[in-house]
Amino acid sequence: MNREKPIVLSGVQPTGQLHLGNYEGALRNWVSLQDDYRMYLCVVDWHSLTSDFNDVKGLQDRIFQTMLDFLCSGLDPEKVSIFVQSDVKEHAELHLLFSMITPTPWLERVPSYKEKADLLGLDSYGFLGYPLLQAADILLYKADYVPVGKDQLPHIELTREVARRFNNLYGDVFPEPDGLLSKFPLIPGTDGRKMSKSYNNDIKLADSPGETAKKLKKMITDPKKIYKGDPGRPEICPVFAMHEVYTITRNVNKISETCKSGDLGCVDCKTNLAENMNTSFNNLRNKRKELEKNRDYVLNVLERGAAEAREKAAATMSEVRKSMKLVRSYG
């Protein structure tokens, strides 16, 4: 692996089976970066405990399912170090040291903290420190870029502030990373809102063609198009938004015209979308099924990823300890 390449780190919570929003918004972006960057991809199991601490029974299966989605999407362990956060203890050490130099108000004012704490009824010490653990994830690898969704930009900003504060106090150790927004389109969920596991409006990579068609059948369309002959408005229809991703351009134009003219009804339009979508995901789903039978391979990818991550993490931590005078030499 080429050490000269800019370093990219991203993290993902092990939520289990990933959905098409995760695929279009994150996975495809990572796959497109893996050749040109030195990439680390961290499955953040400790972060997931900030909200799922009372649901640890399925944790290892959620990690496994997430890994299947990563690998069937084309992330290549020869190019990317994929690892589980808790396998690299340096994340915890750096988080602890950062916690000494980070004023609590910096964390309290991170947008979404208060709202989310109220919404989930959570107010743990770890939950407050969530973005600081994220800063440790990123800075441990001296990442130059962090590919994330827009909602994560405040966490990147905090990461930069922590890096700056550390460097001012102890000397130049950390670069200030930049967020890298995905160039891939976000696709809507079946109810027209953002696709999300918690809204129960998602289509999984692991869904069968039949399940996919069934979910699409229930999908919301233009509420003013009740009968086939009614003129539709593709620009506000989430089914059309999906056609724009999964249907070839020539046909997309035809769908738009025939929807507007009333020649195309929603039922046919959805059947057509299901076919196109299932064709797009056919290879990937077959690969996923193969991988599912191959637990040892998946475990092996994670073991090797952790070893690669530890090497970089250890180098950074030895610099950190030196600069903070945590190393003794009485010689």
Note the residues at the interface with ligand TRP (CB under 6 A). 9-11, 13, 44, 47, 134, 137-138, 146, 148, 152
Shortest Å distance, C-beta 85 to ligand TRP: 8
Residue nearest to ligand TRP (CB): 11
Choose between 14 and 265: whose C-beta lies nearer to ligand TRP.
14
Residue with tokens 């999407």: 73
Shortest Å distance, C-beta 230 to ligand TRP: 40
Task: Give, as one character, the DSSP assignment of residue 235.
Answer: G
- 49: which residues sit within 8 A by CB, 6+ positions away? 56, 126
Contact 41, 70 (CB under 8 A): yes
Going by C-alpha positions, the residue among 152, 155, 273 that lies closest to residue 213 is 273
Shortest Å distance, C-beta 148 to ligand TRP: 5
Choose between 150 and 218: whose C-beta lies nearer to ligand TRP.
150
Choose between 44 and 317: whose C-beta lies nearer to ligand TRP.
44
Shortest Å distance, C-beta 12 to ligand TRP: 6
Choose between 148 and 195: whose C-beta lies nearer to ligand TRP.
148
Choose between 137 and 222: whose C-beta lies nearer to ligand TRP.
137
Shortest Å distance, C-beta 267 to ligand TRP: 36
Q: What is the DSSP annotation of 62-115?
A: HHHHHHHHHHHTT--TTTEEEEEGGG-THHHHHHHHHHHHS-HHHHHTSTTHHH
Q: Which residues pair with 134 in a beta bridge?
A: none
**How many Å apart are CA 69 and CA 179, to the nearest integer?**
23
